[in-house]
Amino acid sequence: MTTRALLKNEIDALPDDYIQMLYNIIRAFVATSQETPSDWQAFVQTTYGCLADTPIERGPQGDYELRATIR
């Protein structure tokens, strides 16, 4: 079982270059745990259909050389 003490020991052993990255990950977990279903629904409502006026289109794929068939 992971305990706070075990986690703190691992953090203490972490190189300083990774501290900011770890902090960002922890903040993301905290933010996610505080979201409610209505937060998610509001996000979907504000972003759904945002590309309706400018849909994504797949451009021409070009011509490629024919290679030998693998048998």
pLDDT tens, residue by residue, 4-19? 999 999 999 999 999 9
Does 37 score more than 80 pLDDT? no
Count of all residues that appear for the chain in the document: 71
20-58 in b/e form (b: 16+ CB < 10 A) is: eeeeeeeeeeeeeeeeeeeeeeeeeeeeeeeeeeeeeee
Is residue 49 scored above 70 in pLDDT? yes
Instruction: Give, in degrees to the nearest 5, the angle at Cα 9 between 7 and 13.
Output: 115
Average pLDDT of the residues in 46-61: 79
Is the pTM for the entire model greater than 0.75?
Answer: no
